């Protein structure tokens, strides 16, 4: 029997600024999406970031496509859409709802393009932290805090949508990148021979390492570690395996090596992560 959907609202604000506002943000776990026959129009923009699992997404402008962990769906105010996983599936998501004149301008200039509503962002743990950081305002309060959030979101959108690349003439991401990410993203620390991987992509090992690092902001080896830790986080959330069992399943040499790598990526030990997760569920 499937577990019930759990929704955790991280931020909610009705304050508006002359530029716009972030209205709502939160986490949804064990989501089944919406009924496949039910469409909706939000009346605002939204970002839906898939943290684990997958679903089928449809909108009236682009039709149907499959969504996997790491995919970001951009929803537009007036465009009918739906997404769901069927009777037996489920997925976890992070979402932000926002609106206002500045985001309408982004759309009018073509940066928010309803013809291209899905982007892929990895590693998942890194991008989740980036989205959550948009909500933080430091010592700012009231409308100043709301304005800061709008600015934070614009800076993040510029990075995600490649606004800088469009305005400076930088080349688009190469065709081999998705395949490279897929090959590196098997949720395991088992050794990967970089020269064989590069050769399968039609590149030399040095060219592959340099180009991958330039585009993704980290070398292939660190990317692989980050994705493996994403998988470890999912296993901890499922709460079915001990740290030792997770270390063995993911190919770490021992539990100490796993714990060290986990803390390097997340800033927490696996045991602390598990305790905080349990505290969040109980609250």
> Is 1 inside any structural domain?
no
End-to-end CA distance of the chain: 24
CATH number of 117's domain:
2.60.120.280
| Of 123, 145, 168, the domain-final residue | 168
* Cα separation, 6 vs 16, whole angstroms: 28
Instruction: Assess whether 25 and 103 both reside in one domain.
Output: yes
Do 56 and 96 fall into the same domain? Answer: yes
Instruction: Please tell me the pTM assigned to this model.
Output: 0.58
Q: Last residue of a domain, which of 137, 168, 199?
A: 168
CATH of the domain at 216: 1.10.10.60
DSSP states of 17-52: -SS-EEEEEEEEEEE-BS-TT--B--SSEEEEEEEE
**Residue 200 forms part of a structural domain:** yes
Shared domain check, 122 and 160: yes
Number of domains into which the chain is organized:
2
**Residue that finishes a domain, picked among 118, 134, 168:** 168
Q: How do the pLDDT tens digits run along the chain, 283 residues long?
A: 345 567 788 777 767 788 888 888 888 887 665 545 577 888 899 999 999 887 888 898 888 888 888 899 999 999 999 887 654 567 888 999 999 999 999 999 888 999 989 998 888 888 888 888 887 765 555 677 788 888 889 988 988 887 544 444 445 567 788 888 878 876 555 656 678 888 888 889 899 888 888 777 678 888 888 778 877 877 787 677 888 999 998 888 899 999 998 888 777 788 887 776 665 444 4
For the CA atoms of 187, 192, 196, 198, what is the dihedral angle to 10 degrees?
Answer: 60
Alpha-carbon torsion (167, 171, 173, 175), positive or negative:
positive
Residues 209 and 155 in one domain: no
Residue 207 and residue 112 share a domain: no
Closest by Cα among 134, 140, 126 to 222: 126
Q: How far is CA 192 from CA 175, 178, 202, 267, in A?
A: 21, 17, 16, 25
Q: Are residues 27 and 137 in the same domain?
A: yes
- Judge contact between 67 and 118, C-beta under 8 A: yes
The parent domain of residue 226 ranges over 176-282
């Amino acid at each position: 029997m499937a577990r019930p959907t759990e929704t955790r609202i991280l931020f909610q604000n009705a304050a508006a600024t002359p530029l716009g506002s972030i209205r709502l943000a939160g986490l949804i776990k064990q989501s089944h999406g919406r009924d496949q026959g039910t469409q909706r129009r939000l009346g605002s923009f939204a970002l839906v970031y898939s943290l684990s699992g997958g679903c089928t997404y449809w909108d009236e402008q682009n039709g149907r496509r499959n969504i996997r962990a790491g995919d970001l769906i951009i929803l537009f105010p007036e465009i009918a859409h739906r997404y769901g996983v069927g009777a037996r599936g489920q997925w976890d998501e992070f979402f932000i709802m926002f609106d206002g004149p500045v985001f309408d301008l982004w759309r009018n200039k073509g940066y928010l393009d309803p013809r291209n509503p899905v982007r892929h962002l990895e590693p998942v743990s890194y991008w989740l932290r980036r989205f959550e950081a948009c909500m933080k305002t430091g010592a700012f309060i009231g409308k100043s805090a709301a304005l800061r959030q709008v600015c934070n979101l614009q800076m993040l959108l510029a990075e995600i949508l490649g606004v800088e690349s469009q305005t400076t003439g930088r080349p688009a991401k190469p065709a081999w990148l998705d395949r490279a990410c897929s090959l590196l993203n098997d949720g395991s620390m088992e050794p990967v021979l970089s020269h064989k991987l590069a050769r399968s992509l039609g590149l030399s090992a040095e060219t592959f390492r340099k180009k991958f690092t330039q585009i993704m902001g980290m070398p292939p080896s660190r990317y692989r570690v980050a994705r493996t830790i994403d998988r470890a986080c999912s296993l901890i959330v499922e709460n079915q395996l001990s740290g030792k069992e997770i270390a063995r399943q993911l190919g770490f040499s021992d539990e100490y090596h796993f714990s060290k790598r986990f803390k390097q990526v997340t800033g927490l030990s696996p045991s602390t992560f598990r305790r905080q997760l349990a505290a969040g569920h109980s609250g």
